[in-house]
């Protein structure tokens, strides 16, 4: 007697349940790592002291503990979660609209533009008095430069279409333009200003404060409902442009919307922290390994994976250095190389 085949709907429900459990486990791992990040640092404070500082609030009796927890570690943790999630989402969107598994949020020159804006702010602030304080001027010009790069690529896309190769070539041109302008400013800068520019380019959570958390978090929250309305369309596009067009989707309009959301997410992430590479490249592959190509779970999984990678880099940077923490951008760059090689070696057709 032969066994009856399992109905397709039963198999689909079982697979969806496994994928949901995988996302839940990743979220729990992120929560545990976030707690570990809070208690890790160069101050030498015990977990108990930090716990009491958290319960006492920002105006607690132990001013040193309150300052460390509420003004340093908690903003850095929140910023790491927001930036990691933003880069993870932006990376998945970029790989989807470009149909390229090695694309990242920086493929279209956004990172180079942010670096140019930051260098301009740091160098300009050192030469002439400006109305904005340095901690606000630098992210403002970095954000503005990123949106300028977005506009340049957008103009090319409007003139020549939104084909992946058009976007990539336009992005490469924009990237080299801003990199050359940034290099020129570094060459002209004084040693003190050059050191500030280089430190910003490292990518660090040490610049985090509650204003930065509020701005980056607001941008992320604005982008989430915009992404939610295109979940099915993005899944269809991931399966192929011909497949999406056969379903009646306006692929060009979808690419433009996803492109603008990617630019906003990336600008909000890197403007306050500096360049943090590989998170947006690796997180989408982790998400697809957990839940497959369905963006209904893929986008949450990419956000969680991005935050997990960045918080893990933060913890690693603190543990490897007894003094000041190693910038997360350096940690992700070092760890990202073997991860990228693993992606290349294990994926067919790359």
pLDDT at residue 349, rounded to an integer: 47
3 state SS of 241: helix
* pLDDT tens-digit profile, the chain (350 residues): 455 665 767 776 777 788 889 999 999 999 999 999 998 887 767 778 788 888 888 877 677 888 888 999 999 999 999 999 999 999 999 999 998 888 888 888 888 999 999 999 888 875 556 666 666 888 989 999 999 999 999 888 888 877 888 888 999 999 999 999 999 999 998 888 899 999 999 999 988 999 999 999 999 999 999 999 999 999 999 888 888 888 888 888 899 899 999 999 999 999 999 989 899 999 999 999 899 888 989 999 999 999 999 999 999 999 887 777 899 999 999 988 888 788 777 765 44
d(Cα 123, Cα 192) in Å, to the nearest integer? 10
DSSP state of 347: S
Yes or no: say if 96 and 258 are a contact pair by the CB < 8 Å rule.
yes
HSE, side-chain direction, 13 A CA sphere, residue 191: 0
**Integer Cα distance of 173 and 181 in angstroms:** 13
CA angle 225, 231, 232 (to 5 degrees): 145
pLDDT (0 to 100) of residue 127: 58
In terms of phi and psi (left: phi > 0; alpha: psi -120 to 50; beta: otherwise), the region of 11 is: alpha
Q: Can you give the residue ranges of every domain in the chain?
A: 66-346
- Alpha-carbon span 8 to 2, nearest angstrom: 18
Both tokens of residue 287? 């998400």
CB 269 within 8 A of CB 85: no
Q: Indicate the fold that domain 66-346 takes in CATH.
A: ABC transporter involved in vitamin B12 uptake, BtuC (1.10.3470)
């Amino acid at each position: 007697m032969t066994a009856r085949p399992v109905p397709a709907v039963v198999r689909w429900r079982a697979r969806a349940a496994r994928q949901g459990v995988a996302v839940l486990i990743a979220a729990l791992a992120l929560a545990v790592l976030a707690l570990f990040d809070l208690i890790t640092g160069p101050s030498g404070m015990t977990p108990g002291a930090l716990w009491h500082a958290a319960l006492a609030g920002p105006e607690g009796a132990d001013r040193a503990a309150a300052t460390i927890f509420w003004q340093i570690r908690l903003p850095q943790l929140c910023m790491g979660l927001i930036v990691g999630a933003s880069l993870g989402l932006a990376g998945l969107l970029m790989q989807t609209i470009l149909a390229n598994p090695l694309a990242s949020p920086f493929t279209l020159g956004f990172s180079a533009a942010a670096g140019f804006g930051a260098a301009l702010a740091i160098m300009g602030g050192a030469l002439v008095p400006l109305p904005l304080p340095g901690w606000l001027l630098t992210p403002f010009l970095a954000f503005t430069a990123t949106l300028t790069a977005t506009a340049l690529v957008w103009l090319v896309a409007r003139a020549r279409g939104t084909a992946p190769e058009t976007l990539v070539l336009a992005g490469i041109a924009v990237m080299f333009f801003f990199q050359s302008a940034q290099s020129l400013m570094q060459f002209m800068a004084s040693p003190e200003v050059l050191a500030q520019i280089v430190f910003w380019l490292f990518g660090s959570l040490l610049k985090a404060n509650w204003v930065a958390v509020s701005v980056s978090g607001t941008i992320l929250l604005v982008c989430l409902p915009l992404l939610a309305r295109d979940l099915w369309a993005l899944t269809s596009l991931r399966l192929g442009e011909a497949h999406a067009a056969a379903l009646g989707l306006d692929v060009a309009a979808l690419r433009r919307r996803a492109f603008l959301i990617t630019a906003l997410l990336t600008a909000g992430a890197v403007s306050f922290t500096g360049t943090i590479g590989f998170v947006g490249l690796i997180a989408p592959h982790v998400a697809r390994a957990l839940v497959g190509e369905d963006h209904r779970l893929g986008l949450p999984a990419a956000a969680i994976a991005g935050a997990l990678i960045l918080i893990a880099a933060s913890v690693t940077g603190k543990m490897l250095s007894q003094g000041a923490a190693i910038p997360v951008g350096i940690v992700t760059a070092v760890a990202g190389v073997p991860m990228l090689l693993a992606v290349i070696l294990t994926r067919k057709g790359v």
